[in-house]
Each structure stands twice: as C-alpha cells, then as structure tokens.
Amino acid sequence: MPEQLLDVRPVAGSLGAEIFGADLSRDDSNQAYDEIHQAFLDHQVLFIRDQKLTPPQQAAFARRFGPLNTYPFVEGLKGTPEIIEIVKEPGETKNFGGVWHSDTTYLDCPPLGTVLYALEVPPAGGDTMYANMYDAYDALSQGMKDLLAPLTGISSAALRRSGGRSAGMGKTSKMKASNLDKADSIVAEHPVVRTHPETERKALYVNPAHTIRFKGMTEAESKPLIAFLCAHAVRPEFTCRFRWDVGTLAIWDNRCVQHFAINDYHGARRRMHRATIEGARPY
C-alpha cells in the first residue's frame, strides 16, 4: 500500500474532518484525490484551509467528483458560469442559506455535493453548521422508520416559509438573481428516506427550507411530522460547526448532509464562491 499523502482529522463525533497537506491549486495525483474522496464518504463534510484558488481551479477540483451543474436563481461568474458568488454586504440583514437545508432538493436530480470557497469573512461570526442525516435516520425508532419508508416528500423552490424566493435572496444584495418568478413552479418528488448510492446507507431526506408536504397528503396534514423530523435531524449530537478563514474550502455530501449558514455578522461582509456537483435522482 502507498504511504498516505494527506492528514485527515475529525472535527466532531458525528461528521466533519479537516484535511491537511493538500494543495488544490495543483493537479493533484490520483492518490490524493482518492484519499479526499474516501474522507468525503467517511466524514460527509471536509474542510481544507490555506488554499489559493481561482474560479477555474475551484471548478476543476469540484469536477473530480463529477460534472458541475448551474444554480437556477443566481447568474454564474463570467467565464466560470458553474460558480456563483454568494455575498452578504454590511448593510444587509438577510443572508443566503440561513436555514437548515439540503441544496436544491426541488430539482429532480439534486446535487451530489457542494464546494464552497471563502474569499472574505467577517471578523467574528459567519460560521456554517452541518448535520449528519445518516445519524438522524439511525436514531429513529423502528416504528418511525416503518412509517417513513413508503413516504415521498414534495420539495418546492418557492421558499414560502422564508417569505418567498425574492425575500430569501435579499432585496439589496449584489448577487445577480435570476428566474425568481419561476420558483413557484419548480417542484420535485423524492423519498423521505434515501439510500446513498456509494455507501448504501440510509439517510433522512426532509428539510424545512424546501419540503412542503408528503405526496398524497395536504400541507396541514404533513406539517406536524415534517416539523418533528426537521427538529430531530439537527439535534446537537448530529452536528458540527465550522469557523471559516479566508482561503478555506469546504466540500459536503448533499445526499446525506444538511447545512445552515449562521446569520450573526450584521455590519460585516462575507463573500464566498460556490460550485455544485451534478447528482442522480434519489432513491
């Protein structure tokens, strides 16, 4: 066996690890990528500090995991349209992603993963929290697992619980929003419990941002169970919290992780570049 190239250090009991010894600006060896990919499957979210990446370099790293897709509601960067810039300006009070969620579950094929790179961070605050949906599912009673097994969740892009997609994107943000008028019509159906195609583990796949009801049920009928599952999914023992530095890159597995961008840095600027990796239809 070849000597391990990278140092992988867990950051919490449930999920998350920091990677040391990687320079993502280079075309890294297949061994380095294989170690990162295995850590990705083992820890669900990885943090790699002290990187200096151009948008094409970030996109090239993300493509090691698969083709990239484009986010439907923000225009991509010129020359690298698969990457969007996420900005909260000092005068804004709303942020992007400030609710527990899995990315774009309202798409028929939600992303496999998300790659986020920090360009500007506030002097304090602006952390991101992550939650392990494997552990959330495993901790349910057998009776609840049996109840959820046949259920299908309906996900919507409308962000109605946040006041609508336009309000959620921020009215004064410099982010180049697009297609906001189409959000109400973008809906997808996915199993409430999905099976990870690589690990074959089961994960809870319901989130408060996008899951509006269960198939065959009204929103009112669905609401109590959705509320229970969403609260259960982010119990502290299933989570980790990460403090960003400029030059930090994170990659997380959207198939088994939820995340929450904490909005506690009013008066400061936070700027990130995000790429998402194409995924398959959940099953």
Residue 102 forms part of a structural domain: yes
Strand pairing partners for 120? 271
Q: What is the CATH number of the domain that holds 187?
A: 3.60.130.10
Residue 154 forms part of a structural domain: yes
Residue 283 forms part of a structural domain: no
Number of domains in the chain: 1
Looking at this protein, which amino acid is placed at residue 255? R
Residue 212 forms part of a structural domain: yes
Q: What is the pLDDT of residue 183?
A: 74
Identify the domain containing residue 41 by its residue range. Answer: 7-277
**76 to 80, 81, 137: CA distances (angstroms):** 7, 4, 35
What is the spatial distance between Cα 8 and Cα 11, in angstroms, rounded to a whole number? Answer: 10
Residue 92 forms part of a structural domain: yes
Confidence band (pLDDT; 50, 70, 90) for 177? confident
Give 86-102 pLDDT, tens digit per residue: 999 999 999 999 999 99
Residue 1 forms part of a structural domain: no
Asked whether the beta carbons of 271 and 183 are under 8 A apart, the reply is: no
Residue 48 pLDDT exceeds 80: yes
Which residues have a catalytic role annotated? Answer: 101, 103, 259, 274
pTM of the model: 0.94
Asked whether the beta carbons of 86 and 274 are under 8 A apart, the reply is: yes
Residue 82 forms part of a structural domain: yes
Residue 260 forms part of a structural domain: yes
